[in-house]
Amino acid sequence: MTILKFSLVGLLNTAFGFSIILFALALGLGDYAANALGYGLGLILSYVANRYWTFAVREPMSAAELARFGAAAALAYAANLLVVSIFRMAGWIDQPVVHLVGITLYSALFYVLSRLLVFGDDAIGRWKRGVGVATRRLPEIALCAAAILTLILLRDIPITHDVVWQFWIARQMINGAVLYRDIVEINPPLWFWSAVPIHHVAQWLHIPPLRLLVTAVIGVGATSALLVTHLANFSSPIARLATMLLALWLMVIAPLYDFGQREHLALICALPYAALIARRSVGSAVPAALALLIGMAAAYGFALKHYFALIPIMLEAWLILRVRRKWRAVRPETVTLAVAALLYGIAVPVFAPAFFTHAVPMVQTAYHGYEASWDMMLMRPWFVIWVSVIAFFLTYGGAFGKTAKPLVSTLLIVAIGFAVAYFVQQKGWLYHSVPITGAAALAMGVRLTMAGMRRMIPITLGLAMLALPILLPFATGPYLNFFRAEIDPVLANLPKGSPVFIAAADPMWGWPTIEDHGLSWPSRFYAYWMIPAIAHAEVIGPNPPQLQAMAEQVRTEAAIEIRCSSPRLILFERRRNYTYQPASFDVRAFFLRNRAIRSYLALHYREVRPSPSLHVYRRITAPDPAPHISQCPKFVHAAS
């Protein structure tokens, strides 16, 4: 009978509150103001009706009861507000049906809280016990609140060009394109395959795929932070809270500029695995399902680049040395890693055989053109952070050995493994440094929670050094394509769907600009990344036959793509962007060596005023009918 009465009051209150919301929306108050007005007025009706009729409370009103009622209403309202915010982020703005969903959740949650904590029998006792549980779980509650706040703040962040390209490939694959055959890509397929289900879900939800990606990464990052601290088994709630929030910051917010990059995802997946191995080293039991889940995530993260496979090997070697005869090879996480590696090893040659026949040879021939000098790799801001962490552990110890906290050791091993990948790749790019900085900084943070650090000098120095990686995202900021100021005016007046051909070594000329303008990308290449190597070989030498053949192939395919798409604009890069590319090399002249490109440009285009870094050719004739030849790429642009 109580739930029936509450339901009737709820229906009355819902109708009353919803009417107020509709009236307020009609007056133009907007989602949040209308929502607050409807719930505020409805709250008074709810309290009176539920107290005197639903729960038939006979005792006088008290301040404690009003406080409990207000807290219950606030929690239920927060859940409703979260629903409204999620729908708004999905593009459902000022829609009555959104508030109907929110008010339904509010009513159900409010009933449970009112029955248990406000008006029901032993409500005061339940309230006190609930407060006790909430106090003990304050770190977890704070983590959830921080994750929600992070989602609200980061939901519309700009996404790096590499990730935009990843999702462009996913869209083409959904529409029938074959990776490495129709799209020339040199990275392994897992990262691109993993974008496809996100793209499908985003289509089903009618939200932009990149917004769903941001939500997913924040959610997985928060879960990873929770798992790391759960497995570490901190005795102090303060240490648990500090580690959770630090882990969330380092895994989600610190990589702000390169959000969603492979190294970013690998960091999120690797840290719980490091915590699991640390837990194994002390012989503590871990539920098989949890170990299996962590192993699955780690398998994905370590498979994103083959360099990362060294990390689980290093962790396993450390575990063997730590436990010696107690070591067991067959565990849920190791079996998961082995099975995942086997399945991935089978999937690539079966579903993407051209990766080995086309992509790998291209990388071996020309990808060295992106390599940076050792000076450029070392003279980076993040290198200062790494040196600081090393100096701290050399001074105060606690990195390895019997007295070291196992989690500190495993986190440092993860950092070392990612550092090997950083130096082997020899690019010196910011996103390559992300997992090193994140794992090393978290190791330092865990070290500072240990009893031996409770002295003025080490704790002060440690916190000062830890401030460097924490403050790094304020220095880098969110992703910024600094070419946009030059390329945006060039593309500004083109109709959506217009094809634009950009012959440049740097992908930032085309991405994410092409997607943001709703234009069509007619090329199978992300960018002409082989130009620095070709330029170096032609100007300085030697120029091996494989590189000469690649140069000819690039020009031939560019001629086909231009003929197939009739671009509105053709742009040639005028400046070099990589140190390996000699300044004297002329990118436009390189492409115009092809007779088909040269004659097509003369017949259908006129060179207009160049920008500081681009030669610009604008089409002066009507687009040609697309030729019916198999070599023509058929891609779907963002506006389709």
Residue 436 lies in a domain: yes
Measured distance CA(487)–CA(508) in Å, rounded = 10
Q: Are 171 and 99 members of one domain?
A: no
Q: Are 305 and 339 members of one domain?
A: yes
Asked if 251 contacts 265 with a C-beta cutoff of 8 angstroms, the reply is no
The last residue of one of the domains, among 476, 504, 526, is 476
What pLDDT is attached to residue 248?
Answer: 96
Q: Are 11 and 115 members of one domain?
A: yes
- Cα dihedral sign, 197-199-202-203: negative
CA distances from 310 to 294, 624, 636 (A): 17, 52, 38
What pLDDT is attached to residue 624?
Answer: 84
Mean pLDDT per segment of 10 residues, for the chain of length 640 residues? 68 77 79 77 74 67 71 78 71 69 75 68 56 64 88 90 96 92 93 96 88 94 95 84 94 96 97 96 92 96 96 96 91 96 96 93 85 82 92 90 90 97 91 96 92 78 90 92 93 92 94 93 93 91 92 94 93 79 90 95 94 94 80 71
Residue 639 lies in a domain: no
Q: Are 73 and 215 members of one domain?
A: no
Domain hosting residue 230, numbered range: 157-476
Helix (H/G/I), strand (E/B), else coil: 158: coil
The last residue of one of the domains, among 446, 476, 506, is 476
Residue 629 lies in a domain: no
Query: How many Cβ atoms are within 10 Å of 414's Cβ, its own excluded?
Result: 29
CA distances from 222 to 100, 230, 272, 623 (A): 29, 12, 11, 50
DSSP label at 358?
I
Q: Are 403 and 434 members of one domain?
A: yes
Helices marked H in 175-261 — which ranges? 190-205, 209-232, 237-248
Q: Are 163 and 106 members of one domain?
A: no
Q: Are 56 and 196 members of one domain?
A: no
Query: Side-chain half-sphere of 572: how many Cα atoms within 13 Å?
Result: 21
Residue 451 burial class via C-beta count within 10 angstroms: exposed 0-12, middle 13-18, buried 19 and up: exposed
What pLDDT is attached to residue 640?
Answer: 47
Asked if 250 contacts 441 with a C-beta cutoff of 8 angstroms, the reply is yes
Beta bridge pairs of residue 615: 572
Q: Are 25 and 168 members of one domain?
A: no
DSSP label at 520?
B
Q: Are 78 and 174 members of one domain?
A: no
Q: Are 48 and 184 members of one domain?
A: no
The last residue of one of the domains, among 476, 492, 508, is 476
Is the whole-model pTM more than 0.85?
Answer: no
Asked if 412 contacts 220 with a C-beta cutoff of 8 angstroms, the reply is no
Dihedral in degrees, nearest 10, Cα atoms 422, 423, 424, 430: 40
Asked if 487 contacts 509 with a C-beta cutoff of 8 angstroms, the reply is yes
Residue 152 lies in a domain: no
Q: Are 506 and 612 members of one domain?
A: yes
Residue 624 lies in a domain: no
Residue 632 lies in a domain: no
Number of domains in the chain: 3
Going by C-alpha positions, the residue among 88, 114, 85, 83 that lies closest to residue 100 is 83
Backbone φ and ψ for 184, nearest 5 degrees, come out as -85, 110
Measured distance CA(146)–CA(472) in Å, rounded = 19
Q: Are 592 and 468 members of one domain?
A: no
Token representation of residue 490: 């060039």
Measured distance CA(601)–CA(149) in Å, rounded = 52
Residue 626 lies in a domain: no
Residue 625 lies in a domain: no
